[in-house]
Amino acid sequence: MTNQTEQNSTAKIRALNDKFRQTFDAKLGKVIITHGVGCLNTNQLQQLIQAVKQFSDFNENNDPWKEHDMAKIELFDEQFYFKIDYFDRQKYQQGIGSEEPYNVDKTFRVMTIMLASEY
């Protein structure tokens, strides 16, 4: 893969991850919350979801591959992560990863929102 092709692929992955994270679009994937996040009260959970959707502070420290696939959020004196993983759309149930995360037709995203201690 040439450097330009790699940059284009990364830009597509980043755009798809941003769209999915900001909209929770079920056509792109699904969102999972861990047990610890599920223990938050309704108001806290809504605030955390808004923080995930609005997150924009990606940098070299939290996004070295420039895919916007993971970051840390601090709320309620707790640290949370969101992490987007890429699965083959046809083999998602088998846990098979996607070889083309830039291809929306072949990739199913799963975003996990968790306490940092659950990572």
Query: What pTM does this model have?
Result: 0.93
DSSP secondary structure code for residue 22 in this structure? H
Of the pLDDT bands very low, low, confident and very high (cuts 50, 70, 90), residue 1 is low
pLDDT tens column, 43-56: 999 999 999 999 99
Of the pLDDT bands very low, low, confident and very high (cuts 50, 70, 90), residue 112 is very high
Phi and psi at residue 95, in whole multiples of 5°? 75, 25
24, 30, 52, 53: which is closest to 108 by C-alpha? 30
> Tell me, what's the pLDDT at 118?
98
pLDDT tens column, 59-104: 999 999 999 999 999 999 999 999 999 999 999 999 999 999 999 9
